[in-house]
Structure 1
Amino acid sequence: MARTLLLIALCVLPALVSAVRPNTKPFSVEGRVYCDTCQAGFETPATTYIAGAKVKVECKDRKSMQVVYSREGKTDSTGTYKILVSEDHQDQLCDAVLISSPQNDCKTVAPGRERSRVILTSYNGISSETRYANSMGFMKAEPMSGCAEVLRLYQEEDV
């Protein structure tokens, strides 16, 4: 009986300890926030990047869809954000989400570009702790001048 308890303790205890302790190397969620100056719905050569935009990483439970983790960050002068997440969110749905833009002329969230899914677990074969989120964006109320030429670059030509 004592040997069985000792065997269980030696097998189960290390697993419990490693499951409870936080990651020694935190995940770094990185991405960019842009202003869609041409209302194209995607990044173009006329796109500008927003410094000081607020972003958050939010993780939800898969079953209840309740938020179980949230951490905010801001973009730097290049429109890039880096948010450190120290926990492994193996069974949760995690997204980078736009909060606000400091630019008064570019505050409307671009449809479909308000969030980006990120995988925050070490159990998926990715060796790096850096997780890159797709760019998220706001759009101007009125397109700037010169957008017709920019959008013409994306038109298909009939052959």
Structure 2
Amino acid sequence: MARVVLILAVCVLLPALISAARPMSGRPFRLQGKVYCDTCRAGFETSATTYIPRAKVRVECKDKEQKLVYSMEGTTDSTGTYHILVNEDHGEETCDVVLVSSPVGDCMTADPGRERARVVLTSYNGIASDNRFANAMGFMKDEILSGCTTLLQSLMEEED
């Protein structure tokens, strides 16, 4: 009986533990999200929102002691969308995408509460796809665009 348990441990448990401890190989996570300029300073995306090309973002993963264990930067394309490949599983860590900088001179202030997005970067959570999507993050325009008051009032009317 002890021999069967030993064979089971060697054949099944040991390879599973080794593969779980190693970084991923082959299929990386494809992390995607958008960066916008809040032209109305509404705190959320509206029809007046514009998306920022060439904005810089960073993926940061921290361990339980809040020590940074992984960091990777990315840049948005012409549509304000970033795509970052992450080759490691970060199931034991907390990962966020954070805003780094905006190339738009009058839209460089990070929107409090929208300056970071939590992401799950592990294969051990029931998600079959390697694609991961982060919530949109935003910078605020220095001066509110004309027409924003009317836009925000119409949104409030729709809510009633």
The TM-score, its normalising length taken from structure 1, stands at 0.90
Percent of paired sites with the same residue: 59
Residue 154 of structure 2 is matched in structure 1 by 153
- Report if the CA contact (8 A) 1:61-1:91 is conserved: yes
Match of 1:70 in 2: 71
Offset, 1:152: 1.4
Stretches of structure 1 that go unaligned for 5 or more consecutive residues are none
Task: Determine helix, strand or coil for the equivalent of 2:156.
Answer: coil
**How many pairs were matched up?**
158
Counterpart residue type for residue 119 of structure 1: V
Aligned to 1:45: 47
Task: Considering fraction of residues, name the structure with more helix.
Answer: 2
Residue 60 of structure 1 is matched in structure 2 by: 62
TM-score normalised by L of structure 2: 0.89
1:14 paired residue number: 15
Task: Give the gaps of 5 or more residues in structure 2.
Answer: none
Q: Which runs of 4+ in 1 moved over 2 A?
A: 1-13, 156-159
Distance 2:88 2:158 in 1: 49
Which amino acid in structure 2 is aligned with residue 140 of structure 1? K
Question: Given that residues 23 and 88 in structure 1 are in contact (C-alpha distance below 8 angstroms), is that contact kept between their aligned partners in structure 2?
Answer: no
Evaluate the alpha carbon distance shift between residue 11 and residue 146 of structure 1 in structure 2; reply closer, same or farther with a 3 A threshold.
Answer: same
Give the Cα–Cα distance (whole angstroms) in 1 for the partners of residues 110 and 100 of structure 2: 9
Relative to structure 1, the CA distance from residue 103 to residue 22 in structure 2 (aligned partners, 3 Å threshold; closer, same or farther) is: same
RMSD (Å) for aligned C-alpha atoms: 2.1
